[in-house]
Each structure stands twice: as structure tokens, then as C-alpha cells.
């Protein structure tokens, strides 16, 4: 299968699942998909991002070799919003190496506080930041402050994530 041609051929859930099923747990195929995702080609990045997130949901270990590049991409303000959204989506469940936690936490806080960021990006950032903060009282207090600040004027997805995170914070 020509991954690039498949990705550019149609933008649908069915097509994304076709690509994700083809890649499966195959490291070489995943490497090719990641090469496309990290290529910087606007449409290719946009379309491959969804498949990357779906594959990592199924096979979290596949993302480990690409972590440093994903963090750099999250910091890139010119990257396609789909890239940020899907990286944060996969970070909700994928194992996060300890050496990236601090940097990712800071990135997430800046995304949460950015009113220009897409709603899904901000909502996923809340979840990832809370996941990193779990068990750290100072970070949990900071998450409470940041999420509370955005509850009043936020869209439903952000309010929902914020409420869920606030429940977790209160339990800890």
C-alpha cells in the first residue's frame, strides 16, 4: 500500500481505519506513517495525524522512538492544528517518558491558556497536564487554578474536561 496516496486519496474515518489497519503493529509501516506525519506537508500531516493517533491508541509502544520529535512539533506554532490535536489525543493514554513530563506539562499549560488554540487542543491539553500532574500536589493545585480560570467562558468540551480534572484533583 502506498501510504501517502491512501492518506491523500480520501479524508474519512473509513480511510483512516484502512490505513491504521494496514499499519497495525508493524514498526516499519509505522515508521513510514510517522515520516509522513512529520514531513511538514500541510495536507499529509493533517490526514496522517488521525491514523497515527488511532494506531498509538491500539499499540502505544510504537510511539516511543518518536517522542522527542512529537514534543518539538507541539512547540511549533506553525504546525497544522490536526497535528497538535492528535498528538495531545494520543498522549492522553500513551506512556509518557519521565524525561518529557516537565516539558509536556508546560506545553499543555500554554495550550490551555491560549484562547486561539482549537477547542479540542485545549481540552486534550487539560487531560494530558492532569495526567502528568497526578500524584504531585503542587502541580495538581496549578491545574486546579488553570482549569477553574477557563470554566466560565469555555466551550462545552473544555468545561467537561475541566470538570473531570477538578474531580480528580479533589480526590487527591
Percent of the chain with pLDDT over 90: 60
Task: Give the integer Cα–Cα distance in Å for 137 and 139.
Answer: 6
Mean pLDDT score across all residues of the chain: 90
Q: What is the mean pLDDT of residues 8-36?
A: 95
Q: Among the residues of the chain, which ranges form H helices?
A: 3-9, 13-23, 27-37, 42-58, 67-75, 81-91, 98-112, 119-133, 137-151, 156-171
Q: Where does the pLDDT of residue 82 fall: very low under 50, low under 70, confident under 90, or very high at 90 and above?
A: confident
Each residue's pLDDT tens digit, 104-150? 999 999 999 898 899 999 999 999 999 999 889 899 889 888 888 87
**pLDDT reported for residue 2:** 95
How is the chain split into domains, by residue range?
A: 1-95, 98-172
Amino acid at each position: 500500500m502506498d501510504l501517502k496516496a491512501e492518506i491523500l486519496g480520501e479524508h474519512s474515518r473509513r480511510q483512516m481505519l484502512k490505513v491504521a489497519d494496514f499499519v497495525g503493529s508493524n514498526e516499519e509501516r509505522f515508521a513510514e506513517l510517522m515520516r509522513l506525519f512529520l514531513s511538514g506537508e500541510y495536507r499529509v500531516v493533517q490526514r496522517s495525524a488521525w491514523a497515527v493517533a488511532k494506531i498509538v491508541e491500539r499499540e502505544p509502544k510504537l510511539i516511543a522512538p518518536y517522542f522527542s520529535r512529537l514534543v518539538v512539533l507541539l512547540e511549533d506554532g506553525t504546525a497544522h492544528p490536526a497535528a497538535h490535536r492528535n498528538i495531545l489525543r494520543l498522549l492522553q493514554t500513551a506512556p509518557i517518558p519521565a524525561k518529557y513530563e516537565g516539558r509536556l506539562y508546560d506545553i499543555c499549560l500554554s495550550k490551555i491558556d491560549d484562547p486561539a488554540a482549537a477547542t479540542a487542543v485545549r481540552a486534550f491539553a487539560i487531560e494530558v497536564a492532569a495526567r502528568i500532574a497526578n500524584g504531585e500536589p503542587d502541580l495538581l493545585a496549578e491545574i486546579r487554578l488553570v482549569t477553574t480560570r477557563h470554566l466560565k467562558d469555555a466551550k462545552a468540551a473544555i468545561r467537561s474536561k475541566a470538570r473531570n480534572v477538578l474531580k480528580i484533583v479533589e480526590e487527591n
